[in-house]
A = this chain, B = another copy of it.
Amino acid sequence: MTGRRVTMADVARAAGVSPTTASFVLSGRTDMRISESSWHKVLEAARVLGYRPNVNARSLRTRSTQTIGLVSDSITTTPFAGEVIRGALDAAYANEHLVFIAETGGDRHAVSGLIHALLDRQVDAVIFAAMYTHYITPPTELHGRRVVLLNCLAPGFDAPSVIPDEVNAGRVAARLLVEAGRTEGIWAVGGHQALPATPEGVFAGNERMRGIQEVLREAGSGLDGVIECDWNSEDGYREVRRILDEGARPRALICSTDRISFGAYQALAEAGLSVPGDVSVISFDDQDIASWLRPALTTLALPHYDMGRTAVELILGGEPLDATVHRITMPLRDRESISAPGG
């Protein structure tokens, strides 16, 4: 764009050496021996002329563009999307790569078009990311390519997956309650996310519930109730209000998302119930709002930054990309919404 760039030929000419020599010193290769003086002359000429390599031209020979594509259904709209992008960007930049971001908006047709657009620009690999943790069947355009799956699983497809460790997050949540002495009156709000409206193959809820049940069982406890509802603040409010109205007296709420917790806080407040004394709340996600709530919400953070970073590191790590599933730890944000009963 704008103005002819100085080429390697320009540098070679200015330095009084052949393009070959210039190429060797500029790409810092040592397998061909170059004299001190040539070395210096080339570097100096490059500096003076402000030489910069044309990565695309180079890639024509080397078949590597130092470029990664990240396609997703709607990653930029989701609250944490920025974090996976940021993780990916950081890891890429640390390895002198750049990343194309592409978003399909869930449109099957756009998926194909975007992947082609990426491939046409010779990306070294593509990260295929999903907004919800769920099972997918990767587009055929991706078969046989260097791919990493992000926040989704594709059994039978030969590529690594990077997903949050939901099972363990469930365990940590339950353990926290048990350690606080909250072993009865425990309700799970949001549950398995097993609703008619829920897209096929969503499994985050199931995994969390598995971890939760496992720990509660070991502690000789269990769930008083599981409310299957959508993972938003409105449903959180409505459903918690409903069970309260129906006479339930929960002592602890395990909310599937911070949005549900937000709604739950409102319903609890209206019923004159205090958090964490009357009802303790443990949540998942760690959206911004979790720290704004009063009392601040204890929650297990979706490790989106680490997921983005890990995906890129797998690609650039040099290891072959096999179908391993990488479960990324969901860190506990221990805040103020859990206490001993009445405490």
A3 CB–B CB distance under 8 Å: yes
Contacts of A120 in B (CB 8 A): 52-55
Known pairs A55-B121, A116-B52; A93 contacts B99 (CB<8 A): no
Binds B, one of A25-33, A174-182, A185-193, A287-295: A287-295
Does the CB pair A83–B93 fall under 8 Å?
no
What is the minimal beta-carbon distance from A159 to any residue of chain B, in angstroms?
Answer: 12
Q: How far is the CA of A334 from the CA of B145 in the complex (A)?
A: 48
Question: Which one of A71-79, A219-227, A248-256, A325-333 is at the interface?
Answer: A71-79
CB-CB under 8 A for A77 and B67, given A1-B123, A56-B56, A60-B60: no
Measured between C-beta atoms, what is the minimum distance from A176 to chain B in Å?
25
Q: What's the nearest-Cβ distance from chain B to residue A229, in Å?
A: 15
Most buried by B among A1, A3, A63, A144: A1
Residues of B within 8 A of A93 (CB): 102, 110, 113-114, 117
A10 to chain B, nearest CB (A): 16
Q: When the two chains form their complex, are residues A122 and B292 in contact, meaning their CB atoms are under 8 A apart?
A: no
Q: Is A81 positioned at the interface, with any CB of B under 8 Å from its CB?
A: yes
Q: Which of A261-282 contact B (CB under 8 A)?
A: 262-263, 266
Residues of B near A54 (CB, < 8 A) are: 120, 122
**0/1 per residue, A1-45, Cβ < 8 Å to B?**
111000000000000000000000000000000000000000000
Contact A101 B122 (CB under 8 A): no
Taking a contact as CB atoms under 8 Å apart, the answer to whether B60 and A57 are in contact is yes
Contact residue among B79, B118, B145, B294 (Cβ-Cβ distance under 8 Å from A288): B79
Q: What separation, in Å, do the CA atoms of A266 and B57 have in the docked complex?
A: 59
A184 within 8 A of partner (CB): no
Knowing A65-B121, A76-B82, A96-B117 touch, does A2 contact B145 (C-beta < 8 A)? Answer: yes
Residue numbers in B under 8 Å from A234 (CB-CB): 292
B56 and A1 form a contact (CB under 8 A) = no
**Contact A76 B85, beta carbon cutoff 8 Å:** yes
**CB atoms of B101 and A145 under 8 A apart:** no
Q: Which listed residue (B1, B75, B114, B125) contacts A1, Cβ 8 A?
A: B125
Nearest CB of B to A303, in Å: 15
Chain A 80-111 against B: per-residue CB contact (8 Å), 1 yes, 0 no?
01110110010001001011111100000010
Q: Can you sample 10 A-B contacts with CB below 8 Å?
A: A1-B125, A1-B146, A53-B120, A75-B82, A76-B82, A85-B85, A93-B117, A98-B121, A99-B100, A259-B292
In order of increasing CB-CB distance, the 7 nearest A-B pairs are A76-B82, A56-B56, A233-B292, A76-B86, A55-B120, A101-B101, A76-B85
A residues engaging B (CB < 8 A)?
A: 1-3, 52-57, 59-60, 63, 65-67, 75-79, 81-83, 85-86, 89, 93, 96, 98-103, 110, 113-114, 116-125, 144-146, 233-234, 259, 262-263, 266, 288-289, 292, 294
- Additional A-B contact list (6), CB under 8 Å, known A76-B85, A98-B121: A52-B120, A54-B122, A66-B121, A89-B102, A93-B117, A289-B289
